[in-house]
Structure 1
């Protein structure tokens, strides 16, 4: 009997797998996981988003779609459920990582984005319920913002440069995907296995104030959460207690979750193994 040939896992599948591994990891403080949902957004919404994004990831891997087109298509495809924004930030990171075959390539790919990419990114943004800064003059819900992109010839990379000061996901585009690289390195340091995803996530929480928390509350809250995470790592508070506190207070480190997904994808791409 002849041996069957099994094709290697492709980039699109790795990206979907990374999304699934992140959302199903146990006790990522404050975020949806297999242990708890939010009132209006559930684990199933995140699972659906990971599945629905597959065709877009495949087209990016093939090089048949621009980052702006992919961003709009990914959001439009995953916007069919009523769970609100699930993976907008993750798409911002995963799409260039797929196109660039990793962090080094992604850092170059993003610099080649165009004005058309920026326009499509803003249109995709308008389809979501992503939290933005109220004082931001480039309001995604204002049609004049898109006209400004065209008039001032602003590329998608320049949009990220503009947002980088207050948004850690956008900052990844401008700093060479440093935190994504850090997340992947942490997984390799911690070793193979699903349990290390939560450890990696907690380590990032202890190192960086989450900009989504800062937008939702303020910078002081984001820094207090970072210090709490460090206390858990030091053994001064349990992970379960920290998770319960975050859920109770509505504190969810969503930007770090997106970077966690990007880090898992990068690690998988480089040979890190998942095992439950």
Structure 2
């Protein structure tokens, strides 16, 4: 099979970002529930702005990250998708390069491709990514013992992320070859989609279930940075109680959403991991792109 088509990868990225805000995930911004001084249309605008840069064939991972974040910030005026860009830039690079031996690419093919991409990251990628992170200025970043984002990196991006992998779930993907996204995440999503025809309601339930899976298994890095690991673990406990439920009460989920947003708690890293999973799933199975979500007029 030839390398993945650029238009497919672009479509998969915007599709994944759209589903992120189409699905009402407690504590996150969605079409039906704004929060944290942001609305869903900002996320759609930044996704569209970042798309071409993030999927720029022939450009390095660092270039994609820096350019995509710059364009997103210009479009939205705030940080809506730094984590998404950090995750999806290497994935896009890997999917472009994939030459699967089978007619249909698999998660195993994707894991091999992303490892090859990560192994080629250099110090220029680190410098570009550091500039992007500084520009987005995510809340609660703080200081690191080594290779602080506020300083000039002296190691390649893969090594820099490995140093942060113990405290940040996005960095952990660089260190473990995106095992959580291409393993746990895809398994969660596919299990939810394999029980019947894939329509919009089923897809949105699968997105929510995947997000709950990430949040229940790993304390959310964004919450931990801003509010401490103890609170992040409590939110994970709340997610775990809901993850195994066959049916989830929308009224109860809305109440949880209101409570999280009232206290300024945003499980944003879990959402970023979910978007990366959706992006990978669509690149591996383009038939998913047939299930779309209608955008409100404000996002047209």
Q: TM-score range by the shorter chain?
A: 0.7 to 0.9
| Cα distance in structure 2, aligned partners of 1:179 and 1:100 | 16
Aligned to 1:3: none
- CA displacement, residues 161-220 of structure 1 (integer Å, 9 cap, x when unaligned): 111111100100111212212112211100132331112111221222111111110111
Gaps of at least 5 residues in structure 2 are 96-109, 294-300
Aligned to 2:121: 113
Counterpart selection for 1:185 from 187, 203, 215: 187
Q: 1:234 to 1:261 in 2, by over 3 A?
A: closer
Aligned to 1:31: 28
8 A Cα contact 1:32 1:38, kept in partner: yes
Aligned to 2:296: none
8 A Cα contact 2:36 2:264, kept in partner: no
Aligned to 2:259: 245
Q: 1:104 deviation in Å? A: 3.1
Q: 1:178 to 1:8 in 2, by over 3 A?
A: closer
8 A Cα contact 2:46 2:76, kept in partner: no
2:206 is aligned with 1:170: no
8 A Cα contact 1:72 1:123, kept in partner: yes
C-alpha RMSD of matched pairs (Å): 2.1
TM-score normalised by the chain length of structure 1: 0.86
8 A Cα contact 1:46 1:86, kept in partner: yes
Aligned to 2:220: 210
Q: 1:139 deviation in Å? A: 4.0
Counterpart selection for 2:68 from 56, 60, 74: 74
| Cα distance in structure 1, aligned partners of 2:270 and 2:215 | 7
Counterpart selection for 1:231 from 226, 238, 241: 241
Q: Please list, as runs of the form range in 1=range in 2, the aligned pairs for 1:92-171 lying within 5 A after superposition.
A: 92-101=86-95, 102-137=110-145, 138-141=147-150, 145-146=151-152, 149=153, 152=154, 154-171=155-172
Q: Which moved more, 1:176-185 or 1:70-79?
A: 176-185
8 A Cα contact 1:184 1:267, kept in partner: yes
Q: 1:258 to 1:247 in 2, by over 3 A?
A: same
| Cα distance in structure 2, aligned partners of 1:233 and 1:94 | 25
Q: 1:275 deviation in Å? A: 5.5
Gaps of at least 5 residues in structure 1 are 1-6
8 A Cα contact 2:36 2:261, kept in partner: no
- CA displacement, residues 72-91 of structure 1 (integer Å, 9 cap, x when unaligned): 11111111145411111111
3-state SS of the aligned residue for 1:18? Answer: helix
8 A Cα contact 1:232 1:239, kept in partner: no
Q: 1:108 deviation in Å? A: 2.1
Q: 1:132 deviation in Å? A: 4.3
Q: 1:159 to 1:8 in 2, by over 3 A?
A: closer
3-state SS of the aligned residue for 1:98? Answer: helix
| Cα distance in structure 1, aligned partners of 2:7 and 2:130 | 32
Aligned to 1:13: 11
Q: 1:8 to 1:79 in 2, by over 3 A?
A: closer
Q: 1:57 to 1:248 in 2, by over 3 A?
A: same
Q: 1:243 to 1:117 in 2, by over 3 A?
A: same
Q: 1:242 deviation in Å? A: 2.1
Q: Which moved more, 1:76-85 or 1:207-216?
A: 76-85
8 A Cα contact 2:61 2:125, kept in partner: yes
Aligned to 2:282: 268
